[in-house]
């Protein structure tokens, strides 16, 4: 895709639509809105709650590296996981198959230090629920926080501006406490098969706009984002029985592994345990709005703040860098 000045302006409008509260359901006519709500109710009935509302208990210490000389255990890195059902691995029965544990083991392998994991996410959570989750997470003094949130904001028709503000506040609180933050942005709900057309098309539009607005907000507060976009989309089309669970909404073990796979490099990099990455050719420093719009279209794309000529901002706002880190094989669970 060729990005022109006109495209950049369009990207800014898309990325900021949710942040300023425009668009969304308010832009729909009453008849169309009624149709979409009826389809949403049918999709929820099809999905149901075959997994209940609680994921497997995953808190604990992962990795068994010792300090220099092997005399005493190395100080664990504190990792906290927040957000919705994807953060708790809803549908899994073994903690080792949840994204949080996969990330903890991956980080422990990269850092050669144990990782103390605490999961504060909750199935069904929206961005407004992050306030309580952050309250609890800050009590364990985390080194890094990983947040998966946004899907329920779309399906519950939460106001995008409010959802983004809650996420922004959560990132700000962690950064003020000295913790790094990595946010997996809202996934593309247009890949969920129980959602019929035209609702699938509309939710795709809303989820990508929310993901772009999330990126803008997170970068402004000093965090970094990784786009989920349609992370399960192509694989779902080819392997529908493998990437999604029985409800065809939540990921399977393989699907959760894919989520962790795309986020792990950014988690390690945030703490300095991953080799530096270079932007793709032609995609160096960008306006945050353009970077957010690009990232919302491609899963696994990291966006982080940068400087150009010593300056954090330019004519079109804060500078950002798009990175496509190349993850290696996921380490086995300890």
Angle 160-176/130-138 helices, nearest 10 degrees? Answer: 10
What is the rounded CA–CA span in Å between residue 57 and residue 119?
8
Among candidate residues 250, 252, 287, 299, the one labeled active-site is: 250
pLDDT at residue number 230: 63
266 φ, ψ to 5°? -70, -35
Q: Does 85 qualify as catalytic in the annotation?
A: yes
Choose, from 51, 84, 85, 166, the residue flagged as catalytic: 85
Average pLDDT of the residues in 16-41: 47
> Residue 247 catalytic?
yes
Of 149, 142, 167, 179, nearest in space to 59 by CA: 142
Is 266 one of the annotated active-site residues of the chain?
Answer: no
Q: Of the ranges 74-83, 84-93, 287-296, 323-332, which one carries the lowest mean pLDDT score?
A: 323-332
What pLDDT sits at residue 23? Answer: 44
Does residue 18 carry a pLDDT above 70? no
Catalytic residue among 59, 78, 96, 247: 247
CB-CB contact of 48 with 41 (8 Å) = no
Is the entire prediction scored with pTM above 0.95? Answer: no
Tell me the mean pLDDT in the region 172-177.
98
CATH number of 5-48+58-323: 3.40.50.1110
Would you say residue 80 has pLDDT above 90? yes
Q: What is the pLDDT of residue 160?
A: 82
Q: Report which of residues 330 and 316 the model is more confident about.
A: 316
């Amino acid at each position: 895709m060729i990005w022109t000045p006109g495209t950049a302006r369009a990207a800014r409008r898309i990325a900021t639509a949710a942040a300023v509260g425009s668009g969304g359901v308010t832009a729909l006519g009453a008849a169309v809105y009624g149709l979409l709500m009826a389809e949403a109710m049918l999709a929820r009935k099809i999905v149901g709650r075959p997994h209940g509302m609680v994921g497997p208990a995953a808190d604990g210490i992962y990795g068994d590296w010792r300090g220099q000389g092997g005399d005493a255990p190395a100080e664990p890195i504190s990792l906290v996981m927040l957000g919705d059902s994807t953060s708790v691995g809803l549908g899994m029965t073994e903690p080792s198959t949840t994204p949080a544990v996969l990330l903890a083991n991956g980080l422990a392998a990269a850092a050669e230090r144990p990782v103390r994991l605490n999961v504060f996410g909750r199935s069904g959570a929206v961005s407004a629920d992050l306030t309580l989750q952050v309250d609890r997470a800050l009590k364990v003094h985390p080194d890094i926080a990983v947040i998966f949130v946004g899907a329920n904001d779309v399906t519950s028709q939460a106001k995008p501006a409010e959802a983004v503000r809650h996420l922004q506040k959560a990132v700000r609180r962690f950064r003020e406490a000295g913790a790094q933050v990595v946010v997996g942005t809202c996934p593309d709900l247009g890949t969920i098969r129980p959602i019929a057309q035209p609702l699938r098309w509309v939710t795709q539009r809303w989820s990508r706009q929310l993901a772009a607005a999330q990126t803008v907000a997170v970068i402004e507060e000093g965090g970094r984002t990784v786009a989920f976009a349609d992370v399960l989309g192509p694989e779902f089309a080819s392997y529908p029985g493998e990437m999604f669970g029985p409800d065809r909404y939540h990921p399977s073990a393989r699907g959760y592994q894919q989520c962790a796979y795309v986020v792990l490099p950014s988690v390690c990099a945030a703490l300095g345990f991953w080799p530096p990455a270079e932007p793709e050719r032609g995609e160096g420093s960008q306006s945050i709005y353009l970077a957010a719009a690009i990232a919302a279209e491609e899963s696994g794309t990291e966006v982080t703040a940068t400087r150009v000529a010593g300056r954090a901002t330019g004519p079109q706002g804060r500078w950002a860098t798009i990175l496509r880190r190349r993850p290696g094989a996921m380490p086995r669970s300890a």
